[in-house]
Amino acid sequence: MIGPVDGRAVPRYAGPPTFARLPRLDEVSRADVAIVGLPFDAGVSYRPGARFGPAHIRQSSRLLRAYHPAVGVSPFADLQVADAGDLALNPFDIPEALGAAELGIRSLAEDGARVVGLGGDHTLALPALRALHALHGPVAVLHFDAHLDTWDTYFGAPYTHGTPFRRASEEGLIDRERSMHVGIRGPLYSAADLDDDARLGFAVVRADDYETDGVARAVDRLRRRLTGGPVYVSVDIDVLDPAAAPGTGTPEAGGLTSRELLHTLRGLAGLDIVGIDVVEVAPAYDHAEITGIAAAHVVYDLLAVLATAR
């Protein structure tokens, strides 16, 4: 395995701009995990800027270290993780951008890598699910978000960051018996949004459930629903409270702490995770890399979970 540049030999703030200062994909013969930047934000409904997310998450990942004590693994030693760079996604043509994202993710996955997409806005979950469906058939979606993202259209547009999981459900890409949202909160357009969402195949762990029932119960609920098949993990960074992730486009008060989120992610060990995205990091609204660091740790903890399958 080729791991990250050692922070005790080359200063953290020097060295390659790859995620965690890992090798580039073209520097390794094969990869278990490919981290790919998806700089695209033409699907947003409010604050723009998630196109700068991949570079920001990479910059905020320079302090990650080799050993994960809570999980008891060294993700970069147990897995060959490499940075595949960014896909070139057309900012003026959403369907074309989604096609390019699907193709890029699919070709990385066909080479045998688990793909971690760094967003970019949440529209990108749709091409990722199209790519994975081609390889695995319908997958369960474990979706961390303040928002349902199963709305229908905005201004008549079907492909936006508020609609990827409705499209994915309509297209038969997801397992409607095993998908779920975690962290849902905030105002909806109407009560019918929740009925539509349930019909599209999602169970819900609300942000408020963390307050009343705690992390262990949330983990228990999601493990029960997700076991028995492939799982796609999609993390919209706005699942975190704006205090823990100010750098995002559609923030909602009352979200998870980063400790709650990371603890929940570690509870996924043993599930068959076939793909991951971390989206909606918009650095223009970030401060002191708070959001970038949270996103980098989300990726790191999910890599640790993947490493437990070794």
Tell me phi and psi for residue 57, to 5 degrees: -65, -40
241 in contact with Zn ion (CB under 5 A): no
> Which residues make Cβ contacts (< 8 Å) with residue 252, sequence separation at least 6?
146, 147, 185, 186, 238, 242
266 in contact with ligand ALG (CB under 6 A): no
User: Which of ligand ALG, Zn ion, none is residue 162 near (CB under 5 to 8 Å by kind)?
Assistant: ligand ALG
The dihedral formed by the CA atoms of 268, 106, 51 and 300, expressed in degrees to the nearest 10: 30
Residue nearest to ligand ALG (CB): 162
Distance CA 143, CA 205 (A): 10
Q: Per-residue x/- mask for Zn ion, residues 98 to 137, rule CB under 5 A?
A: ------------------------x---------------
Distance CA 114, CA 32 (A): 6
250 in contact with ligand ALG (CB under 6 A): yes
Residue 239 or 307: which CB sits closer to Zn ion? Answer: 239
One of 83, 86, 238, 289 touching Zn ion (CB under 5 A): 238
**Paired tokens of 33:** 């995990």
Q: Per-residue x/- mask for ligand ALG, residues 140 to 159, rule CB under 6 A?
A: -------x-x----------
147 in contact with Zn ion (CB under 5 A): yes
120 in contact with ligand ALG (CB under 6 A): no
45 in contact with ligand ALG (CB under 6 A): yes
54 in contact with ligand ALG (CB under 6 A): no
Q: In what order do the strands lie in the sheet with 272-279?
A: 81-86, 33-38, 114-119, 272-279, 230-236, 140-144, 179-184, 202-206
Distance CA 9, CA 40 (A): 35
Size of the site for Zn ion (CB under 5 A): 7
Q: Mapping DSSP to helix (H, G, I), strand (E, B) and coil, where does residue 29 land?
A: coil
Smallest separation (angstroms) from ligand ALG to the CB of 177 = 24
Distance CA 269, CA 5 (A): 27
User: Which of Zn ion, ligand ALG, none is residue 241 near (CB under 5 to 8 Å by kind)?
Assistant: none
32 in contact with ligand ALG (CB under 6 A): no
Stretch that binds Zn ion, among 78-86, 100-108, 149-157, 265-273 (CB under 5 A): 149-157
User: Which of Zn ion, ligand ALG, none is residue 45 near (CB under 5 to 8 Å by kind)?
Assistant: ligand ALG
**Paired tokens of 121:** 């806005």
Distance CA 263, CA 252 (A): 21
Q: Mapping DSSP to helix (H, G, I), strand (E, B) and coil, where does residue 222 land?
A: helix
Rg of the chain over all Cα atoms, to the nearest angstrom? 18
User: Which of Zn ion, ligand ALG, none is residue 67 near (CB under 5 to 8 Å by kind)?
Assistant: none
State the number of CA atoms in the 13 A half-sphere of 156 facing the CB: 0
Binding to ligand ALG in span 156-185, by CB under 6 A: 161-162
Per-residue HEC secondary structure of 66-119 comes to: CCECCCCECHHHHCCEEEEEECCCCCCCHHHHHHHHHHHHHHHHHCCCEEEEEE
Residue 108 or 298: which CB sits closer to ligand ALG? Answer: 298
Residue 122 or 130: which CB sits closer to Zn ion? Answer: 122
277 in contact with Zn ion (CB under 5 A): no
One of 78, 102, 209, 236 touching ligand ALG (CB under 6 A): 236
What is the binding site for ligand ALG (CB under 6 A)?
45-46, 122, 147, 149, 161-162, 236, 238, 249-250, 280
Binding site for Zn ion (CB under 5 A): 122, 145-147, 149, 236, 238
